[in-house]
Structure 1
Amino acid sequence: MKNSIFPVLAASALAFSLAACGSDDGGSDAGSGGEASGDAAAADLDLITDGTLTVCSDVPYPPFEDFDDSSDSGFTGFDVDIVSAVADGLGLELEIKDSSFETLQSGLALNSGDCDLAASAMTITEDRQKSLAFSDGYYDSKQSLLVPAGSDITGIGDLAGRTVGVQQGTTGESYTEENAPEATITAFPSNAEMFQAIQAGQVDALLQDLPVNVDNSTKGDFEVVEEYDTDETYGLAMQQDNTALVDAVNEQLTALRDSGEYDELYDTYFTTEGAEDSSATSEG
């Protein structure tokens, strides 16, 4: 076992649901057959721009997505690396757009034609599946509680009468509403505003995805005091009627797992050594 920041996210817990990924024509080898096979697969996809996979993401949300002027796409992060590998496997160029999470999780950005795919640490939920199609799960996560170091808040049971920052439209917001009903909940558009609020003392705690709160804790005198296992799995979201794109993305995710590239990307962001290296190179 590698020295992981998040030992609960063992590789076995991150396995994709691959039952729907197979292909009678050998499609599961997508991504390893070269540009010609990728071009052939991409030709049947209903993309908003021919030859380009257009991805929307709510940025910044490190370590999943962040701005990076030094990269070809202008962005960095685990989600960015995943969709970059998917685009490469399909022989497509990659364009990433910064979007609000609310427009992504509601389906507005996809269904209005702003992008082909949403990659934004988005949990697969029954409610979201009413307006979106999801890929197989590519990451298992937890919720968590971040407070200033030395705070008398030691867990969710201490939040009565306190102000908690959450991100609007997220499962973290729902979890806080259900499990801390006596707290004052303040919803923000993104993690950037949330973190600024706790830095300024405007909120007493932040409740959101564990990896993001861990990243926040490295930027000041803050600590994660509690973690919550909510059985959340992230998926890449697409339009419900674009089944060809969903199938193609799932084939690429399968290829990433089979080749070992997924494990390499995971280790870059979620092991102690890899996360330190990534933080040093993506500071922006």
Structure 2
Amino acid sequence: MKSQRARSGRARFRSVLAGAATIALAVGGCTFTEPGTGKSLGGTNTLERVKEDRSINVGFANERPYAYRDRGDLVGQSPAVQGYIFDQIGGISLNPTMFEFGSLIQALNSERVDVVTAGMFITPDRCKQAAFSNPVYVATTSLLVPAGNPKGLTDYQSVIDAGARLAVMNGAAEVGQATGSGVPDGQLQLVADQQAGLDAVKSGRADAFALTSISLRALAGGDSSLQVGEAFVPVIDGKEQVNAGAAVFRQRDVALREAFNAQLAELIRSDKWLELVEPYGFTEAERPDPELTAEQLCQG
């Protein structure tokens, strides 16, 4: 009996030591995240953590030309800009994970990533779920249609008038823009990604695919069976919709977003911005107004 009590006492002692060691490691390393707070068990917030780690977890959706894999490397407009900015903040590199576009904010808020790197538009609905940086670029909308544009589709109103079937990417701003412009649900076809939208048009399952002009030009490439229509600006309730893409953060990560915005403000006003994004089809026309803010766009 005495031997059993001794063994039991030693087991409890080892358990206490193990628990103390775990706490010491968490406090000393400052890299373990306390669920639901954005802070490590050692009290480090996300900005401090990524500066210490010199790495930040980013989510992307494999969408050209914004963020996609090329021979295993993460490339595109968003990684180019964010990679530069995080390097300026503290020599921080991007550690990417791919998700479907519609799952990116969920991945962010569930702490699977620390920032969305996908050229995501700032919209009032999304602003309720996450915090956006100030605009990194602006873009117009176009329709991808079969060569010759047999139904004469030029914008959302023409889709309505023709009774055409319009493909829109699940989770993308074009879904809300199309419905807000009056396109009936019965004419909309949700697709998972860019390739699915292109395939829908090529196969005849959809008459057009709505996306940014930049995306569609990159997607169509030299395919002679397709053409990208003229750019247009969607109008909802008499108000032009500004398509402005940005980095996306958790709402509580104020310090991280402010550090990003400080570097972005300098970048937007410099020649470096065009140098970073021009290889991906962006031009001066996509440079945002330095005075345009996320707060303005979140108000709608």
Mark yes or no: TM-score above 0.5.
yes
Structure 1 residue 259, shift from structure 2 partner: 4.6
User: What is the aligned partner in structure 1 of residue 295 from structure 2?
Assistant: none
- Residue ranges of structure 1 left out of the alignment (5+ in a row): 1-41, 273-284
User: What is the aligned partner in structure 2 of residue 164 from structure 1?
Assistant: 166
Once residues 226 and 171 of structure 1 are traced to their aligned partners in structure 2, the CA distance between those partners, rounded to angstroms, is: 19
**Cα distance change on mapping 1:55 and 1:49 into 2, 3 Å:** farther
User: What is the aligned partner in structure 1 of residue 128 from structure 2?
Assistant: 130
Once residues 129 and 176 of structure 2 are traced to their aligned partners in structure 1, the CA distance between those partners, rounded to angstroms, is: 18
Size of the alignment, in residue pairs? 225
Amino acid at match of 2:67: E
User: What is the aligned partner in structure 2 of residue 150 from structure 1?
Assistant: 148
Q: Higher helix fraction: Structure 1 or Structure 2?
A: 2
1:195 aligns with 2:198: yes
CA RMSD, Structure 1 to Structure 2 (Å)? 2.3
User: What is the aligned partner in structure 1 of residue 77 from structure 2?
Assistant: 78
Structure 1 residue 110, shift from structure 2 partner: 1.0
**Cα distance change on mapping 1:196 and 1:238 into 2, 3 Å:** same
Report the 3-state secondary structure (helix = DSSP H, G, I; strand = E; otherwise coil) of the residue aligned with 1:121. Answer: strand
Structure 1 residue 162, shift from structure 2 partner: 2.0
Matched-pair contact (CA < 8 Å) for 2:59–2:99: yes
State the identity as a percent.
24
Report the 3-state secondary structure (helix = DSSP H, G, I; strand = E; otherwise coil) of the residue aligned with 2:175. Answer: helix
Matched-pair contact (CA < 8 Å) for 2:144–2:229: yes
Q: Deviations over 1:154-189 (max 9, x none)?
A: 223442332111001221111222335256110111
Amino acid at match of 2:107: A
Q: After the TM superposition, which of the residue ranges 61-70 and 228-237 deviates more from structure 2?
A: 61-70
**Cα distance change on mapping 1:257 and 1:271 into 2, 3 Å:** closer
**Aligned pairs (5 A) from 1:170-209:** 170-182=172-184, 184-209=187-212
**Aligned pairs (5 A) from 1:245-264:** 245-264=256-275
**Cα distance change on mapping 1:43 and 1:255 into 2, 3 Å:** farther
Matched-pair contact (CA < 8 Å) for 1:146–1:206: yes
Matched-pair contact (CA < 8 Å) for 2:145–2:227: yes
User: What is the aligned partner in structure 1 of residue 97 from structure 2?
Assistant: 97
**Aligned pairs (5 A) from 1:1-284:** 44-47=47-50, 50-59=53-62, 61-69=63-71, 74-89=73-88, 90-104=90-104, 107-154=105-152, 155-156=154-155, 157-159=157-159, 160-182=162-184, 184-220=187-223, 221-229=225-233, 230-270=241-281
Matched-pair contact (CA < 8 Å) for 1:47–1:116: no
Once residues 94 and 111 of structure 1 are traced to their aligned partners in structure 2, the CA distance between those partners, rounded to angstroms, is: 18
Once residues 114 and 237 of structure 1 are traced to their aligned partners in structure 2, the CA distance between those partners, rounded to angstroms, is: 13
Name the TM-score, length of structure 1 as normaliser.
0.72
- Residue ranges of structure 2 left out of the alignment (5+ in a row): 1-44, 234-240, 284-300
Which is higher, the Rg of structure 1 or of structure 2?
A: 2
Amino acid at match of 1:218: G
User: What is the aligned partner in structure 2 of residue 25 from structure 1?
Assistant: none
Q: Deviations over 1:213-258 (max 9, x none)?
A: 1222324121122422231111100000111100111122123235
**Cα distance change on mapping 1:239 and 1:223 into 2, 3 Å:** same
Once residues 245 and 276 of structure 2 are traced to their aligned partners in structure 1, the CA distance between those partners, rounded to angstroms, is: 15
Q: Deviations over 1:28-86 (max 9, x none)?
A: xxxxxxxxxxxxxx995354993311110111x1111221126xxx2211111111112
Amino acid at match of 1:112: S
Q: Deviations over 1:115-145 (max 9, x none)?
A: 1100212111111111211111110011111
Name the TM-score, length of structure 2 as normaliser.
0.69
Matched-pair contact (CA < 8 Å) for 2:197–2:209: yes
User: What is the aligned partner in structure 1 of residue 11 from structure 2?
Assistant: none
Report the 3-state secondary structure (helix = DSSP H, G, I; strand = E; otherwise coil) of the residue aligned with 1:175. Answer: helix
Amino acid at match of 1:57: F
